[in-house]
Structure 1
Amino acid sequence: MCEIVSRRAEEYLKAVYETIEEKGYARIKDIAWRLHVKPSTVVEMMKKLHSSGFVVHEKYGGITLTLRGKEIAEAIKKRRATFRKVKFELKPMGIIHTPYKDKNEIPCQGYKSDKVGEVEIFREFEEALKDIEGFSHIYLIYYFHEATGYKPLTKTFLDDQKHGVFATRHYNRPNPIGISIVKLIKREGNILRVGQVDMLDGTSFLDITPYVPQFDQRTNVKNGWLTGKNIGISE
């Protein structure tokens, strides 16, 4: 049975294993480069793994895995390979109808939109809307059906510099899923009339959840690379 080690230790054991697989050996600087950490940080972790019997590391020498360390590293690699193969099935809950027929017409963010749209919930989910009309705003989670493929670095309307897509709200994501806060105007059966829409007409939506300021608002927030940008609202 594979021993339980910390997630951080797992990362280092996996890095040593993969480096040896690729190069035939592993050194402190190799692991530091792979994990984007300082060599001194690797040295400290190797001392801990050495004392735990997972690696053999001589000062100024290479790093090798013990039998215990190799078994754990192989188990980690196998488990993560399994995770990468996992596929999720998402079921569309309905269709979002908006005035926007072309993605170039859509405002950069919903707060800049003065357009009204309708969220058509499929009848099988209508009962789940009970009490939704008591909220003034809701989150819509939906699928970017016209995304053009994953791009790890991308430009936005606010900056000429490229940023990691996870540091933006761009639609070219590994999983092209969007989220918007819209104003709930009224409910009519399985139809929600909403304001401040910023989605393409015909967008499939995946979920709805209420916006609750007591839960969702945060204080002492940072805006990252957006700090100082003119985003049209006060910070």
Structure 2
Amino acid sequence: MTEIVMTPIGKVQNDVVNRKDVSWGEDTSSIVLEKEYVSGLKGLEDFSHAIIFFFLDKAKYEKEKHLQRRPQNRDDMPLVGIFSQRGKDRPNRIGMTSVEIVSVSDDTLVVKGLDAVDGTPVLDIKPYYPVYDKKDATVPEWVDRLMEHYF
């Protein structure tokens, strides 16, 4: 396969120093862009939500441990494959979260609900389009239980 190289466009700044599995909805994060990408924020202030793509630099994927597991390692969750969940230890350390936009300034996007720790490299930002991003989606029953205290 072809190697893929990406360069971060910025980084996350927040008070979260350790990885966690719940309560991300209370966290406010700033995404501070590299100078060359600052003008790319123009127009984002007109959106209520964005999708943030980031590099899970602290993740450590182990095939035997993570390819199939119970979400959040909870005994009340079914055994499912990594592609059926949004666990942080993945074959390719790509994270993605839809977030609420709090504010947009010269070089910073402030968001709520980003599940990334302080210093996480940001790969891309896309506006949230309800017509594309929230269709009539269904999830298994266990996902609702899993997410009860996540946000």
How many Å apart are 1:160 and its aligned residue?
4.1
2:119 is aligned with 1:209: no
Given that residues 97 and 120 in structure 1 are in contact (C-alpha distance below 8 angstroms), is that contact kept between their aligned partners in structure 2?
yes
How many Å apart are 1:214 and its aligned residue?
2.2
User: SS of the residue aligned with 1:103?
Assistant: coil
- Give the aligned residue type for 1:143: F
Given that residues 98 and 117 in structure 1 are in contact (C-alpha distance below 8 angstroms), is that contact kept between their aligned partners in structure 2?
yes
Question: Cα 1:101–1:130, aligned 2, differ >3 Å: closer, same or farther?
Answer: same
- Taking the TM superposition and a 5 Å limit, the aligned residue runs for 1:20-35 are none
TM-score (norm 2): 0.85
Counterpart in the other structure of 2:54: 142
Cα distance between partner residues in 1 of 2:55 and 2:143: 28
- Taking the TM superposition and a 5 Å limit, the aligned residue runs for 1:78-93 are 84=1, 86-93=2-9
Q: Percent identity?
A: 23
Greater relative contact order: 1 or 2 (C-alpha under 8 angstroms, separation 6 or more)? 2
Given that residues 54 and 120 in structure 2 are in contact (C-alpha distance below 8 angstroms), is that contact kept between their aligned partners in structure 1?
yes
User: What is the aligned-residue RMSD (CA, Å)?
Assistant: 2.1
How many Å apart are 1:153 and its aligned residue?
1.1
2:68 is aligned with 1:153: yes
Counterpart in the other structure of 2:32: 120
Structure with the largest fraction of helix: 1
1:126-180 per-residue CA deviation (whole Å, 9 max, x = no partner) reads 1211111111110000011111124311221354432100001001111010101
How many Å apart are 1:197 and its aligned residue?
2.5
Query: How many residue pairs are counted as aligned between the two chains?
Result: 144
TM-score (norm 1): 0.56
User: Which aligned segments of 4 or more residues in structure 1 are displaced greater than 6 angstroms?
Assistant: none
Structure with the largest fraction of strand: 2
Tell me, which stretches of 5 or more residues in structure 1 are unaligned?
A: 1-83
